[in-house]
């Protein structure tokens, strides 16, 4: 008689513990889902305090603009750097596809995609008038 009561009590305790564990896991998953859905309330601002530029057509739709991109070998690319200097620093990286050139009023915008050991990135350079070509945006997919 006592052994049957002990078994029922033990079974009931395990059932309650399992139900509580499932409840905690469900609550945690719901909380994670809510955190992922949070949208920023302010626009993302670039390095110079200006809103991030609209991506060119050659950049994937979900790519993110970054003001600085650190690469292997202590190489850093910043928005505003001269394109000639940057292209010397990244000449060992693979260029994917061909350059996408867009004509602007008095200049042009060139978008290049590079592959490096950490992934890919899009480098956008612009030259307006007789000015030297500069990096205007870096997009990471």
How high is the pLDDT of residue 100? 86
Top-confidence residue, 98 or 50: 98
pLDDT digits (tens, 9 = 90+) for 7-61: 778 888 999 999 999 999 999 888 888 777 766 555 555 545 555 556 787 888 8
Burial 1-27, CB ≥16 within 10 A → b, else e: eeeeeeeeeeeeeeeeeeeeeeeeeee
Average pLDDT over residues 56-72: 85
- Residue 1: per-residue pLDDT: 52
- Under the banding of pLDDT at 50, 70 and 90, the label for residue 96 is confident
The answer, as to whether pTM is greater than 0.75, is: no
Q: Please tell me which residue, 90 or 46, carries the higher pLDDT value.
A: 90
So what's the pLDDT on residue 18? Answer: 94
The residues pairing with 66 across neighbouring beta strands, listed in sequence order, are: 138
CA distance 34 to 54: 28
CA 30 to chain centre: 24
User: Smallest Cα–Cα separation from 123: which of 72, 80, 74?
Assistant: 80
Under 8 Å between Cβ of 115 and 94: yes
For residue 50 the two structure tokens come to 């200006």
pLDDT tens for 99-138 read 888 887 778 888 989 888 888 899 999 887 777 889 989 9
Helical H runs in 1-141? 2-36, 83-89
């Amino acid at each position: 008689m006592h052994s049957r009561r002990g078994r029922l009590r033990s079974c009931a305790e395990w059932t309650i513990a399992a139900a509580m564990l499932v409840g905690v896991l469900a609550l945690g998953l719901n909380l994670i889902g809510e955190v992922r859905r949070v949208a920023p309330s302010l626009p993302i601002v670039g390095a110079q305090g200006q809103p991030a530029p609209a991506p060119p057509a050659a950049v994937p739709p979900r790519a993110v603009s970054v003001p600085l991109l650190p690469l292997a070998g202590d190489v850093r690319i910043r928005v505003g750097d001269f394109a000639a200097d940057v292209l010397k620093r990244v000449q060992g990286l693979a260029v994917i596809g061909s350059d996408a050139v867009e004509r602007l009023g008095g200049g042009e915008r060139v978008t290049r995609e590079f592959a490096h050991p950490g992934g890919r990135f899009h480098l956008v350079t612009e030259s307006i008038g007789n000015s030297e070509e500069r990096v205007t945006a870096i997009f990471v997919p």
